[in-house]
Structure 1
Amino acid sequence: MRFLNITGRLAVLGALAAACSRDEVAPATPAIDGHLAMGNPSGAVADEAVPANYLLAKPQYILAYHRDKGIPNWVSWHLAPAWLGPAPRQDDFRADASLPAGWYQVAAGSYVGSGFDRGHNCPSADRTATVADNSATFLMTNMVPQAPRNNQQTWAGLEEYCRTLAGAGNELYVIMGSYGTGGVGANGAKTTLDHGRVAVPAHIWKVIVVLPEGRQDAGRVSASTRVIAVDTPNDNALDPAWGGYRTTVDALEAATGYDLLSAVPVAAQKAVEARVDTGPTQ
């Protein structure tokens, strides 16, 4: 586990407040403890002088963006029944105009013909309370080049299961990201798209903390809390069953260098990060 010092934590909080002032749309329903309740995995800050770890806050999710890779390092969001509703899928993929001036904006067509999907980090179907919420998930800063079978089968199954858990009276804190270089899409292997402006990762991962609905969420995580960690190759030959790709949070931290649950009490953090989930998958 890696811990930010106090100065770093205060800087993150200040930067987050500044980032929120640039949010594109107003939130429909506030998250109970905020999208970063489990911690800021990479210590990202809203400072354009740090382009490889730029904190970008939306009412619907928060992410750390890597300017030179054109994808997020990670995206973190809260999922509870209040975020789910009747709003239809908007499919309005578009560049994110909230990026700092002068930064390249990955466009809706940047993945076209590549053999990779515009894979959501925070899923469209996790944000259906309002049209604005759903539309926010189609910003290209929320996308990663994802092998179609990975996106449409394996990952889709995991996302649907998360919503099932939320519908059963739970709230979830979800962190998704990627690491490594090069994936295998429908048209074969690639390391970049869009003339080198968008990196194709080798692995796509997710950590899901499952809690009964309540307050002071990080403090309620105990050694027995269900935490699901998944690490999938970004490969079009992937098994559609996501359960076989479960791993430990510790292993993901070793692969990424992040501290994924830094706000969780230390004793509980040690226990849940070392355990491979064996719970149901549907």
Structure 2
Amino acid sequence: MAKSNTSNALFWAIILVGIFVLIGNWKDFFGKGTFGGVSFPKEEKKSTSKRGSKDKNTPSEEEEDDNEVAEPATGADFEKRADFVYPTGQKVEVIKHSAYALGYSEKYEQPAWVSYRLTSSMVTGNNKREDNFRPDPDVSTGSAVPEDYRGSGYDRGHLAPVADFRASAKWMDETFFMSNMSPQLHEFNAGIWEKLESKARGWARHNKVIYITSGPILKSGLPTIGRYNKVAIPEYYYKVIYDIREPEVKAIGFMFRNEGTKKPLQSFAMSVDEVERRTGLDFFPQLPDELEKKLEGSFNASQWFDKSKKDR
């Protein structure tokens, strides 16, 4: 009788094991994927997060949510990409601040470009300028420092101008990072360069939303200044401005020598394609091809400088 009971118990044990194997729960039954001292590989979970990516041009999902540079109130889907404002074509470290992004060139100790979305509300405010020039802690290799410019005869020239961000004291303060500076002769910085910056704010008020990228033309062999870092002195600067909202989609580029001038601003205007040819950069590469060709292939100065239009 005892032998019969043992046989029955063994029979039912085998049946139960067979059932668990068939329904796929044998791992749980034998204890977290092990059997007879042999471990079974656990199923890997596929991560959808971009955190930890070594590509400095690829923002994390959290950064995409927090990035004010690339999140317009309305507009096409490509505008919402966190990297929409990033030019391509030069080796840089992409740094994102609250209201603008920049591509820092360690070789030349300055940005190859700064890029941002400028709206009519951003240029309005009562916040006061505080000249808090300082190194940028976000540059992994270390940025230039204020002392590099001292006694050099060159201004610490803003590429993202402080007056563009009067709506926020924080935004204004972040424009004084040395990663946003480039050596400019005072006659240029306080002359035609400042004139274009002011004009661009007027275009932001009129068009509601524009996109701006500015920078120096960096190349080997440029002279340098700097007590602690070798900061290249650019010979030329550029600025491109896009209005990609209907009804008047348009773009315009500018190129200047790093010197004072009495020539009118319009005489420095050119197509974005021409600026790209001279700089080796591709501006706003996320634009759809058809729109990119329309915007960059030519320009109509009257769309920007027509004096009959208000706030120009």
TM-score, normalising length from structure 2? 0.69
Q: 2:133 aligns with which of 87, 90, 93?
A: 93
Matched with 2:232 is 199
C-alpha distance in structure 2 between counterparts of 1:130 and 1:68, whole Å = 32
RMSD: 3.2
Query: Mapping of 1:190-229 within 5 angstroms?
Result: 191-195=223-227, 197-212=230-245, 225-229=249-253
C-alpha distance in structure 2 between counterparts of 1:209 and 1:238, whole Å = 25
Query: How many percent of aligned residue pairs carry the same amino acid?
Result: 26
Q: 2:104 aligns with which of 39, 49, 65?
A: 65
C-alpha distance in structure 2 between counterparts of 1:273 and 1:118, whole Å = 30
Matched with 2:255 is 231
C-alpha distance in structure 1 between counterparts of 2:262 and 2:122, whole Å = 29
C-alpha change, 1:42 and 1:141, in structure 2 (3 Å) is same
C-alpha distance in structure 1 between counterparts of 2:278 and 2:300, whole Å = 18
C-alpha change, 1:239 and 1:191, in structure 2 (3 Å) is farther
Matched with 1:16 is 59
Query: Mapping of 1:129-144 within 5 angstroms?
Result: 129-144=167-182
Question: Would you say the 8 A contact 2:69–2:82 is kept in 1?
Answer: no
C-alpha distance in structure 1 between counterparts of 2:62 and 2:95, whole Å = 6
Question: Would you say the 8 A contact 1:192–1:198 is kept in 2?
Answer: yes
C-alpha distance in structure 1 between counterparts of 2:148 and 2:62, whole Å = 25
Moved segments of 4+, more than 4 Å: 10-14, 18-21, 26-31, 33-39, 180-183
1:205 positional shift: 0.2
Question: Would you say the 8 A contact 1:178–1:205 is kept in 2?
Answer: yes
Matched with 1:151 is 189
Matched with 1:54 is 93
Aligned residues: 245
SS at match of 2:146: coil
Is 1:171 aligned with 2:209? yes
Is 1:107 aligned with 2:180? no
1:17 positional shift: 2.5
- Of the two structures, which has the highest relative contact order with CA contacts closer than 8 Å and spacing of 6 or more? 1
Q: 1:242 aligns with which of 257, 260, 265?
A: 265
C-alpha distance in structure 2 between counterparts of 1:13 and 1:107, whole Å = 23
Matched with 1:48 is none
Residue ranges of structure 1 left out of the alignment (5+ in a row): 1-9, 45-51, 184-189, 213-219
SS at match of 1:243: helix
Matched with 2:121 is 82
